[in-house]
Chain A
Amino acid sequence: MSTSSQNANSWAKKQPGKSLSERLIGTGLFILATISVLTTAAVIVVLFSESFQFFRQVPLTEFLFAPEWTPLFADPRYGIGALLAGTFLFTGIGLIVAIPLGLMTAVYLSEYAPFEQSVRVKGIMELLEGVPTVVFGYFALLFVTPILQSLIPGLNLFNPISAGLVLGFAILPYISNVASDAMMAVPRSLREAAYALGATKFEVVTRVVFPAAISGIVAAILLATSRAVGETMIAAIAAGQRPLLTLDPRETIATMTSYIVQAATGDQPAGSLASRALFSVGATLFVFTLTFNILAQRVVERYRERYE
Chain B
Amino acid sequence: MQRGLSLESSKSPENLRRDRINRVFARAVIVPTVLALALIAVLILDTIYDTVSVQVVEVTETSGKSFPLGQAWNAEQVIRLELLAQGLPEEEVNRLMADPEEMRIFGLRNRVELMWATQDGPLRWVVSSIDDERVSNYSLLEGLRRWNELKAGLQENQQLRLNPWLDQSFLSRDPSRNPISAGLRVALFGTLWLLTMTLLLSVPIGVGTAIYLEEYAPKNALTRFIEVNLRNLAGVPSIVFGLLGLAVFVRGMNLGPTLAAAALTMALLIMPTITIAAREALRAVPDSVRLAAYALGATKWQTISKVVIPATIPGIATGVILAAARAIGEAAPLLLVGAAAYVAFVPRGPMSEYTVLPVQIYLWISANLSEFANTAAAGIIVLLLTLAGLYALAFWVRRRFRVEW
Contacts and interface: CB of A to CB of B under 8 A. Distances in A.
Nearest to A286: B240
Main secondary structure of the interface of A (DSSP, over half): helix
Interface stretch (B41-49, B65-73, B159-167): B41-49
B225 interface: yes
A22 B215 CA distance: 13
Interface stretch (B2-10, B102-110, B115-123, B168-176): B2-10
A6 to B, nearest CB: 7
Interface string A1-25: 1101111110110010011011001
A92 interface: no
B317 interface: no
B329 A132 contact: yes
Contact of B5 (A195, A229, A231): A195
Contacts of A143: 42-43, 46
A35 interface: yes
A50 B329 contact: no
A143 B330 CA distance: 22
Contacts, number: 282
Contacts of A30: 212, 216-217
A264 interface: yes
Contacts of B22: 200-203
B300 A12 contact: yes
Nearest to B300: A12
B251 interface: yes
Interface string A33-70: 11111011011001100100000000000000000000
B212 A265 contact: no
B144 interface: no
A139 B47 contact: yes
Interface in A101-152: 101-102, 104-105, 107-108, 111-112, 114, 121, 124-125, 127-128, 130-139, 141-143
Contacts of B50: 142
B81 interface: no
Contact of A36 (B217, B230, B294): B230
A36 B242 contact: no
A12 B291 CA distance: 9
Contacts of A7: 287, 291
Contacts of A121: 33
Interface string B169-201: 000000000000000000000000000000000
A237 B362 contact: yes
Nearest to B43: A139
Contacts of B217: 1, 30, 33
Contact of B335 (A12, A29, A46, A261): A261
A282 interface: yes
B36 A125 contact: yes
A95 interface: no
B362 A134 contact: yes
B152 interface: no
A195 B291 contact: no
Contact of B383 (A43, A132, A229, A257): A132
A21 to B, nearest CB: 8
A132 B331 contact: yes
Interface in A70-87: none
A62 B362 CA distance: 33
A278 interface: yes
B345 interface: no
A42 B253 CA distance: 13
Contacts of B213: 33
A233 B387 CA distance: 18
Contacts of B216: 9, 26, 29-30
A34 B275 CA distance: 12
Contacts of A190: none
Contacts of B46: 139, 142-143
A226 interface: yes
Given A47-B243, A134-B362, A135-B384, 8 more contacts: A43-B244, A134-B380, A141-B365, A230-B236, A236-B362, A237-B365, A257-B332, A260-B243
Interface of B: 1-5, 7, 18-19, 21-22, 25-26, 28-33, 35-37, 39-40, 42-43, 46-47, 50, 204-205, 208-209, 211-217, 219, 225-226, 228-233, 235-244, 246-248, 251, 268, 271-272, 275, 287, 290-291, 294, 299-301, 303, 325, 328-332, 335-336, 340, 358, 361-362, 365-366, 373, 376-377, 380, 383-384, 387, 391
9 contacts: A34-B226, A47-B243, A121-B33, A133-B332, A138-B361, A138-B376, A199-B4, A226-B235, A289-B237
The 3 closest A-B pairs by CB, nearest first: A230-B237, A132-B329, A32-B208
